[in-house]
Amino acid sequence: MPDFYPLARQLLWRVQPETAHKIALWTLRAGLGFLASGERMGTVDHPALAQSLWGLNFRNPVGIAAGFDKDALAFDALLRFGFGAVEVGTVTPRQQSGNLKPRLFRLDQDKAIINRMGFPSAGLDTVLKRIARHKRSNGILGINLGKNLSSKDAAADYIEGIRLTAGLADYLVINISSPNTPGLRELQRREPLRLLMKELIDTRDRVSSNTPLLIKIAPDLSNQESYEVADVALDLGIDGIVISNTTVERPTSLKSPEAEEQGGLSGPQLFETSTVLLSEIYRLTSGRIPLIGVGGISSAEDAYTKIRAGASLVQVHSSLIFNGLSLVAKIKAGILRLLSKDGFSRITDAIGVDHIDSISNGFRRQGVAVAPHFSNTGSGLEYIHGAQDKDCSDHRWRQGIQSGLRQGLSAHRDGRTAGREVG
């Protein structure tokens, strides 16, 4: 079937971005999404893409990030288009309108998006009625939870969200990283995060001990803040980390006039920052906590780079706006080619594998002659040999990884330019 999205995009670009997005969601909800995708619904995925996480069977690693379907209007339709999981939200306990419009901007020259939505939400009551119809056999559904802007008690809002959704969602994500809700990112610091998540985990355990509880973090964390997040996650047993939300930074490479707008930036410019952070969190947690890689994915090579850096799953969002739903099938097919090229028989073989190569190469560039040997065991990077080299400082360890990873990302950018594996 031909892909009509390029034509549909011309029509959608004639209206405001937020209006266009609503039109797209209602089109999907009405069952007409195939007209703008060129893809067959219900295609069976290759078994090499499947994996089990948190007791859930993901048929492939490609999901759709929160923010695309905030109010659960089209999640079942999206699952039928081949996503391994759909994450709806961010949902707040009570209905709220969010920030003043305009608040969503397309950066056409940069293929990027800036939003300052401020958690506009239909509220939990409305969303719950919609997801109550969901059949878990259709695919995996995650719910991203937020706090109301007027709330004085963030924990109370998240507790209400968990209490009401834990029995309906396959997994839950606590959004503590949106740049558009004042004070929210402060919850990522060690003590606020520890206090909040201990209370939320206790709540989850009381209402549904089997529902995985994840957090979503910002890409703009310092090394110290990254360490604090990883430390709390390991100490409390947080089930997973979504990396990352949008960035408040503005790269000098941006060309679109809308680049000056306030809000969170998403798109290709977020790829390197979010991937380096993902790799750092994977290192800090020794690969023991499943990570979902988000930010700047617009091709199979992008997705695979995040997987090799430590992501068990990946999510797309902004690239769908510019490329359409046919991108999903291209990413999945491309991942299969890349797995085969690297000699891997399944997706789990590739998760975090760059940490082996990056540590060896990075240490050489840091002037360290030894190269520790590791095994990617599935439960984390396990030290096998070279125990005599464990006195290398954590600082040099980090620099070794980051040096190797940045070289890999540089090669990845060159590959993008050359058009390899582009979806």
Q: What is the pLDDT of residues 222-277, one digit of tens each?
A: 999 999 999 999 999 999 999 999 999 999 999 999 999 999 999 999 999 999 99
Instruction: With a cut of 90, say whether residue 349 has pLDDT above it.
Output: yes
Judge whether residue 361 has pLDDT over 60.
no
Cα-flanking dihedrals φ and ψ of residue 140, to 5°? Answer: -90, 130
What proportion of the chain, given as a percentage, has pLDDT over 70?
A: 81
CA dihedral defined by 43, 47, 53, 55, rounded to 10 degrees? 80
Beta bridge partners of 19: none
Report which of residues 39 and 153 the model is more confident about.
153
d(CA 186, CA 317): 25
Whether the model pTM is above 0.85:
yes
Rounded to whole angstroms, how far apart are CA atoms 42 and 9? 24
Residue of 214, 100, 219 whose CA lies nearest to 158: 214
- Region 348-374: mean pLDDT is 64
Would you say domain 43-344 falls under CATH 3.40.50.10300? no
178 catalytic? Reply is yes
pLDDT exceeds cutoff 70 at 352: yes
Distance separating alpha carbons of residues 174 and 198, to the nearest angstrom: 13
Please say if the pLDDT value at position 391 is more than 70: no
- Quote the mean pLDDT of the chain: 86
Angle made by CA atoms 315, 76, 117, in degrees to the nearest 5: 55
| Amino acid (one-letter) located at 87 | E
Of 60, 77, 86, nearest to 140 by C-alpha is 86
Distance CA 22, CA 35 (A): 16
Query: In the prediction, which pLDDT does 292 show?
Result: 98
Which of 86-100, 130-144, 257-271, 290-304 is predicted with the least confidence, judged by mean pLDDT?
130-144
SS3 state at 391? coil
Count of Cβ atoms closer than 10 Å to residue 255 Cβ:
10
CA 26 and chain centroid, separation: 24
Residue ranges per structural domain of the chain: 43-344, 354-418
Phi/psi region, residue 237 (left: phi>0; alpha: psi -120 to 50; beta: rest), is: left
**Nearest 10 degrees: Cα torsion 393, 397, 398, 400:** 140
Given 37, 151, 177, 178, the catalytic residue: 178
> What is residue 209's predicted lDDT score, i.e. its pLDDT?
78
Residue bearing the bigger pLDDT, 18 or 370: 18
Give residue 302's identity as a one-letter amino acid code: D
Residue 25 has pLDDT above 50, yes or no: yes
Which tokens belong to 182?
């004042």
Residue 288 has pLDDT above 80, yes or no: yes
* Cα 72 to Cα 90: distance, rounded to the nearest angstrom: 10
Distance of alpha carbon 302 from the chain centroid = 12
